[in-house]
Amino acid sequence: MINQAYRLIAPKQIRADFVDLKMDDENIIVRPTYLSICAADQRYYTGSRGRVIMKQKLPMALIHESVGEVVYDPKGEYKVGTNVVMIPNTPMEKDDIIKENYLRSSQFRASGFDGFMQNVVSMRRDLIIPFKMEPRVAVLLELTSVVMNAVENFKKISNERKNVIGIWGNGNLGFISALVLKKTYPDTKIIVFGVEEHKMAYFSFVDDTYLINNIPSDLKVDHAFECVGGRGSEAAINQIIDYIQPQGTISLMGVSETPVGINTRMVLEKGLTLLGNSRSNYDDFKKSVELMETYPDVCEYLSTIISEEVVVQSIKDMHKAFEDDLNNDFKTVMKWDI
Ligand SMILES: NC(=O)C1=CN([C@@H]2O[C@H](COP(=O)(O)OP(=O)(O)OC[C@H]3O[C@@H](n4cnc5c(N)ncnc54)[C@H](OP(=O)(O)O)[C@@H]3O)[C@@H](O)[C@H]2O)C=CC1
Ligand SMILES: O=C(CO)[C@H](O)[C@H](O)COP(=O)(O)O
Ligand SMILES: [Zn+2]
C-alpha cells in the first residue's frame, strides 16, 4: 500500500513523498489524529542542528509526539477506531540491563527515521498503547513519559531526603516535571525557577516559584531537575550547583547543541550526582497512561499548556503550526486532518 509522508527536506521546506507502507501481522496501521511539536522538531525545522546533522538526517518526517486511531489490525486485536498512543523509540534488540531508550541500536522517530507526519503510520504491535482520555490532551503522553523515565531514574539514584525539589525551566518540560513530581511526592515542596514571570501563573499546583535573578540567598533544594536546554543550560546547571544541598541529585533533561561548561569543582566538593535523562520506553508510556487515566486533574492541568491547536489540512497549515510555535509560550498541537 502507498502512503504519504510529509518530510522536511531543508529548513522550512516540507515535501509530500509517496512511501511504501509496511504491512504484516506484527504491524498495525494507525491514522494520526493529534501531533504536537517538540523543541527537537523545531531545531530541525529551523535548521539550528547545523549543516552536518541536517545533511545526515534529512529528508525526514518530523514529530515524535502523536496519538491516533487504529485503521487496520491484521490480527483483529484492536478494533478499528481504537485510540492509541504511538511510541517513537523503536528498540532493535533486547538487553537485560540497559533500558531501550539508551541502547545505541534503538531508532527514534523524527531523529533519523520518519516521524509521525504521515497520512497513516505502520506501527509495531509492541509500540502502541490504547488509552481512554481526550486525544487532544493524550498527545502530551510522550513528554509525560520522558518525565516518567527521569522520575523513575531519580527514585533509584537519589538519597531519601526529599524535603525540597527545585525545577529549573518554566516551559513545557518544567511544567510536566513539576506535575509528575507533585503527584509522586505530595509532601515534598516543589519549587520552580524560571525567567518569564507571566509563565509562572500556569504553575498553580507547585509550592513556590522564583525568577532566577531573584532567588533568596539562603534558599536550598535537596535535589533538582534541569528542564532548560539550549543556551540557558549552562547558567541553569551552575545555579543549581550553587543552591543544591550536598549529595543531591541533578536530573539533567535539557538538550544542548554545544558542550556545556559546568562548575565541576563544586560538583566534587558537594558530592553531587548528575543524572542524564533522555526519551522513554514502553513502561514509561504505560505508567503515564495510568497516571493520566487515574488523575483527571493531571489531564486538566496538562490541557492548560496547549497554547494553540492548528487544524492541518495542507502543507501550508503545517508551516503555520511550526511558525506559530516559535512564538507560543507552551505547546502547539496539530489536529491532523489530512
Ligand atoms: N531529555 C529529553 O528526552 C527531552 C528533552 N527536551 C529538551 O528540554 C528542553 C526544554 O524543552 P521545553 O520545555 O519544551 O522548552 P521551553 O522553551 O518550553 O522551556 C525552557 C524554559 O526554560 C526557561 N529558561 C531559560 N533559561 C533559564 C534559566 N537559566 N533558568 C531557568 N529557566 C530558564 C525558558 O524561559 P523563556 O520563556 O524565557 O524561554 C523556558 O521557559 C529543550 O532543550 C528540549 O529539547 C524536551 C523533551 C524531551
Ligand atoms: O525530544 C526528545 C524526546 O522527546 C529528545 O530531546 C529528542 O529525542 C532529541 O532528539 P535529537 O537528538 O534528534 O535532537
Ligand atoms: Zn521530544
Q: How far is the CA of 151 from the centre of ligand 1 (A)?
A: 17
pLDDT single digits (tens) 212-258:
999 999 999 999 999 999 999 999 999 999 999 999 999 999 999 99
Q: 179 and 89, same structural domain? A: no
Residue 316 confidence class, pLDDT cut points 50, 70, 90: very high
Residue 14 lies in a domain: yes
Q: What residues flank ligand 1, with Cβ below 6 Å?
A: 38-40, 143, 146, 168-174, 193-196, 199, 212, 227-230, 232, 235-236, 253-255, 277-279
Residue 288 lies in a domain: no
Residue 62 confidence class, pLDDT cut points 50, 70, 90: very high
Q: How far apart are CA 336 and CA 338, in angstroms?
A: 6
Q: How far apart are CA 337 and CA 32, in angstroms?
A: 9
Q: 236 and 114, same structural domain? A: no
Q: 30 and 84, same structural domain? A: yes
Q: How far apart are CA 139 and CA 68, in angstroms?
A: 9
- Which residues lie below 8 Å from residue 100, measured CB to CB, with a gap of 6+? 89, 91, 106, 281, 282
CATH code for the domain of 263: 3.40.50.720
Q: How far apart are CA 140 and CA 288, in angstroms?
A: 10
Residue 177 lies in a domain: yes
Annotated binding residue 319:
no
Residue 284 lies in a domain: no
Backbone angles phi, psi at 321, to 5 degrees: -60, -45
- Among residues 276, 292, 314, the one where a domain terminates is 276
Is pLDDT of 17 > 90? yes
Q: 321 and 238, same structural domain? A: no
| Cell numbers representing residue 48 in the block | 539550528
Q: How far apart are CA 69 and CA 102, in angstroms?
A: 28
Q: How far is the CA of 130 from the centre of ligand 2 (A)?
A: 23
* Average confidence (pLDDT) over 268-282: 98
* Average confidence (pLDDT) over 61-90: 98
Hey, whose CA ends up nearest to atom 9 of ligand 2? 40
Q: 16 and 29, same structural domain? A: yes
The total domain count for the chain is: 2
Residue 298 lies in a domain: no
- Can you give the residue range of the structural domain that contains 26? 2-140+305-336
pLDDT single digits (tens) 184-193:
999 999 999 9
* Strands of the 208-211 sheet, one edge to the other: 208-211, 189-194, 164-168, 223-226, 249-252, 273-276
Q: 129 and 216, same structural domain? A: no
HSE on the CB side for 314, CA within 13 Å? 3
Q: What is the 3-state secondary structure (H, E, C) of 206-245?
A: CCEEEECCCCCCCCCECEEEECCCHHHHHHHHHHHHHHEC
Residue 286 lies in a domain: no
pLDDT of residue 36: 98
Q: 79 and 200, same structural domain? A: no
* Average confidence (pLDDT) over 164-181: 98
Cis, peptide link before residue 88, omega less than 30° from 0: no
CATH code for the domain of 100: 3.90.180.10
Hey, whose CA ends up nearest to atom 2 of ligand 2? 279
Q: 105 and 20, same structural domain? A: yes
Q: What is the 3-state secondary structure (H, E, C) of 191-207?
A: EEEECCHHHHCCCCCCC
Q: 149 and 136, same structural domain? A: no
Q: How far is the CA of 165 from the centre of ligand 3 (A)?
A: 23
Q: 135 and 256, same structural domain? A: no
Q: 272 and 178, same structural domain? A: yes
- Among residues 257, 276, 295, the one where a domain terminates is 276
* Average confidence (pLDDT) over 117-124: 98
Neighbouring residues of the ion ligand 3, judged by CB less than 5 Å? 38, 40
Is pLDDT of 30 > 90? yes
Is pLDDT of 1 > 90? no
Q: 310 and 212, same structural domain? A: no
